[in-house]
Chain A
Amino acid sequence: MNMNTNKNTTRTRTRSTLLPLVVAACSLAALSACGDDSSTTDTPDSLTIVAYDSFTPPDGAFDAFTDETGIAVKVVAAGDAGEMVSKAALTAGNPEGDVMWGVDNTLLQRALDAGVFDPYSSPIDGIADDLRSISDAVTPVDFGDVCVNYDVDYLEANDITPPTSLEDLTSPEYAELLVTEDPTTSSTGLAFMLATRVAFGDGWLDYWRSLRDNGLSVVSSWDDAYYASFTLHGGDRPLVVSYATSPPAEMIFADPPYPEGMPAVTGVATGTCFRQVEFAGVLAGSKHVGAARRLVDYLAGETFQSRIAESLFVFPANTRVTPPESFEKYAPTIVDPYTMSPEEIAANRDTWLEEWTSMS
């Protein structure tokens, strides 16, 4: 449980639990190799993971995989998630790497339709069933929720009750307070738009009209909304569409650090959340399918999963990994987020975006 209080402790723990894991992973890999007759016995010198730009696993995150298999892991930064998927769709069958990290449920179907993935769902134990059931062509590796965050101090100082639901946001109490991202340019904005679509069905544009009449501000990117418009960082909007894990990040990176035991400085409107799930998959056309599958197993396995939470600020998809202490302390558990299937998103996204853009 003390995994995020001391880096050295974390390292030692990881190493000491490594050996059994390695054995388990090896035998798993061997098993899957037996059951598959497509060139899976090869051991390349290295494998390449194609990932979005902000994929920053901690130093040495792949050491265990390399020690175990003799295969080095290279990470290619391919732009943001949308750019990464567009590029992969263009070169489907002739990929830039062997494994893709980080296609989310809003983009997944587009990638699947373009034939980006060689279907593989890791059989590794511990992956949450509700995530695994989304697709059998890729493996879930993490999840998070896009929710309205609020500046606790600002609301208290102005005697405003924090909002809890999407409906709240149209009330005059929150006039001129909310900033969100443009869904046509930002994945955060897109997730929020999908939440409203699920919540209000065909009436969703009416909801947006009320938001607009209530003084909504729309900017083009998350960092623009969060760092330029949000009151906590000097802007003039105390409500911002961000992530359920933004509060722990605020606490970890506070400067100067907050005193131990202080409550989070930002809160989450728990009824406004849309669940984002990220997946890893084997890229169709990889010359090392067997090894690539082992790498996907590793990405979804406990060793790697336990190390990414506080680097990427996402919840591990592997339920055997306990979320870091900072998440338990500062990130609320989102019990019933809005969700939508990748198929439904893919079938309607472009229409909804055009409707949103030309909303009057």
Chain B
Amino acid sequence: MSGWRPRLPVRDAPVVALVAFATVVPAAVLASRAFASAELIDVWRRPGVPRAAWFSVWQGLVSTIATLAVAAVPTWIISRFDFGGRRVAHAVLTVPFVLPTVVVASAFMSFLPSRLDHSIVAVLLAHVFFNIAVVVRVVGPALAAIDERRFDAARTLGASPLRTLVHVAWPAVRRSVATAGALVFIMCATSYGVVRLLGPSGTDTVETEIFRRAVRLGDLDGAVALALIQTLAIVAVLAIGTIRRRRTDSPTMSVSRRPAGRARTLVASTVCLLVATPTVSLVVASLRSGDHWTASGWRALLSHSTRGIDVDIRQAVVTSLVYAAIAAIVATVIAVGSTGRGVANLVGTLPLAISSVVVGLGIIVTYDGSPFDFRGSWWLVPVVHASIATPFACRSVSARRAAIPRGLFDAAATLGSPPWRRFLSVEAPLLRPAISTAVALSAAISLGEFGATSLLSRSDEPTLTLVVARLLSKAGDIPYTAAMATATLLLMLTVSIVMALDRTVGS
């Protein structure tokens, strides 16, 4: 395997360093404080634990299957066909992934019938809504990379559409489908905010149970034991989801999209409309008070003159953007630099596998002054964001990299090109679409992230998500509409970033 490209462990050092710093070491330090092997068995006897584990598994499976089913058609249309508004559609499908959960929850409750509020159905719908983006982003590039001539050939030879799908499309994408499925399963099985806000009271995933034990009940030992069990389970899922399959080289990397035609455009637009509904209801919520339209929430934010609402919204936008930029650059540079195989592949997935509650608490006890005191350092937040985004950045890049014909490298090597030169002039240009994806996803994750880093102390200016939380802690019309307006700003920033990056891909 390594004959065509020498192993360059030094390329993998940054990803290992980042994940070790921001995820593994803190979790290990916390575990070293509060771990007893007997707990691995005992914890199952505590009330709520077996139920939480079972709920994580079955709900995760159902959510994953539903997400793949719902996302399949739009992903196919968007990645292989051209139609007016394709970029907008792409952005619309990505946005839910980054919306603050509290915003999605209120949006869902405003349009679901009230008997579905706080139901398992609401949780499943929200999981599908959140994760369509993962499928579009992970499977899309692989689908787009299939040479149209293969389909032409299949058709010419008389293959039915179904046969074409099974024998031409499926082999080219199954690896990325497995990857997407594994990612979606993990996101849903470890779901925190959606389950808290939309699930029936008393419904727990393992992740909410870890939080409940560590923070509310003071049962740190139990929480750490559960987190360890969860990590092992997730690593197993990832291993199954990303088992090395036969390489699926595409003869070409050029992407030429055919016009979509009316029917396909209609389907894609319908799905986008459905996905956009909760986000539209968010914008509406920022402009509605009782039964009339109002701009008071926006005015309170922008004019800084409403009594009792002390929010410097410009500062919050700047802070959020700076964090997002740092997180995106760090995660993407690391992902592109890394080989994405072997140790790097495993390490790059660990941030998904390790409970963010444990990481958050771990950072507090790890960097507490011996020898470093980083607690409250402003850069800790974007660095942790980068670590959280690393699995997504790495996977976007490695899926694309796997599709690069290796002959190109052989040719470059034969012509005497040194490894760095091969990287710059062969690999990097071919990776450009994946780089855009990695930047967009990482920036979006950083912008919307609240759960994992809410345990980190922040001493600088608040981010937009913190402003939303602060406004929502006050009673009254104006704080609520101002919170919805802040969430709308977050939404607009995300859409702009994703669309701007897609522009660079499209040309």
Contacts and interface: CB of A to CB of B under 8 A. Distances in A.
B217 A353 contact: yes
B475 A243 contact: yes
B476 A220 contact: no
B109 interface: yes
Contacts of A252: 307-308, 476
B197 interface: yes
Interface stretch (A36-44, A89-97, A155-163): A89-97
B237 to A, nearest CB: 27
B364 A90 contact: yes
A97 B373 CA distance: 12
A75 interface: yes
B308 A353 contact: no
A22 interface: no
B375 A250 contact: no
Nearest to A114: B218
A222 interface: yes
A256 B289 CA distance: 8
A253 B478 contact: yes
The interface size bin for chain A is: 35 or more
B117 A228 contact: yes
Given A77-B457, A253-B477, A54 B469 contact: yes
A82 B369 CA distance: 23
Interface SS of chain A: helix, strand, loop or mixed? Answer: mixed
Contact of A48 (B105, B216, B376): B376
Contacts of A68: none
Given A90-B364, A223-B473, A255 B466 contact: no
Nearest to B304: A59
Contacts of B365: 90-91
Given A227-B480, A350-B217, A242 B475 contact: yes
A354 B202 CA distance: 11
Contact of A56 (B219, B470, B475): B470
Given A219-B201, A255-B294, A86 B114 contact: no
B340 interface: no
A228 B101 CA distance: 14
A115 interface: no
Interface string A34-76: 0000000000000010100110101100000000000000111
B296 A90 contact: no
Interface in B84-121: 102, 105-106, 109-110, 114, 117-118
Interface in A288-342: 310-311, 313
Interface in B367-394: 368-369, 375-376
A83 B215 contact: yes
B196 A357 contact: no
Contacts of B197: 220-221, 224
Contact of A350 (B218, B308, B470): B218
B475 A86 contact: no
A63 to B, nearest CB: 14
B416 interface: no
A97 B478 CA distance: 33
B196 A220 contact: yes
Interface string B450-475: 00001101110010001001101111
A139 B398 CA distance: 56
A222 B473 CA distance: 8
B264 interface: no
Nearest to A346: B218
B481 interface: yes
A59 B458 contact: no
B466 A53 contact: yes
A227 B107 CA distance: 11
A7 B307 contact: yes
Given A86-B214, A184-B216, A219-B201, A79 B364 contact: no
Contact of B480 (A77, A185, A233, A246): A233
B364 A357 contact: no
Interface in A192-229: 217-224, 226-229
Contacts of A357: 47-48, 202
Contact of B218 (A97, A110, A255): A110
A185 B294 CA distance: 33
A75 B199 CA distance: 34
Contacts of B216: 82, 184-185, 353
A287 B297 CA distance: 42
A91 B364 CA distance: 7
Interface string A251-269: 0111110000000000000
B466 A77 contact: yes
B310 interface: yes
Given A53-B469, A94-B368, A253-B479, 15 more contacts: A7-B307, A53-B454, A54-B470, A79-B455, A86-B215, A217-B118, A229-B117, A242-B475, A250-B476, A250-B477, A253-B475, A253-B478, A255-B289, A255-B478, A313-B475
28 contacts: A4-B307, A54-B473, A76-B376, A77-B462, A78-B457, A86-B214, A87-B457, A89-B218, A90-B364, A91-B365, A91-B368, A222-B473, A223-B472, A227-B472, A228-B109, A236-B114, A249-B479, A250-B475, A250-B477, A252-B476, A253-B474, A253-B476, A255-B294, A255-B477, A256-B292, A310-B308, A354-B47, A358-B47
Interface of B: 47-48, 102, 105-106, 109-110, 114, 117-118, 196-197, 199, 201-202, 212, 214-220, 289, 292, 294, 296-297, 307-308, 310, 361, 364-365, 368-369, 375-376, 454-455, 457-459, 462, 466, 469-470, 472-481
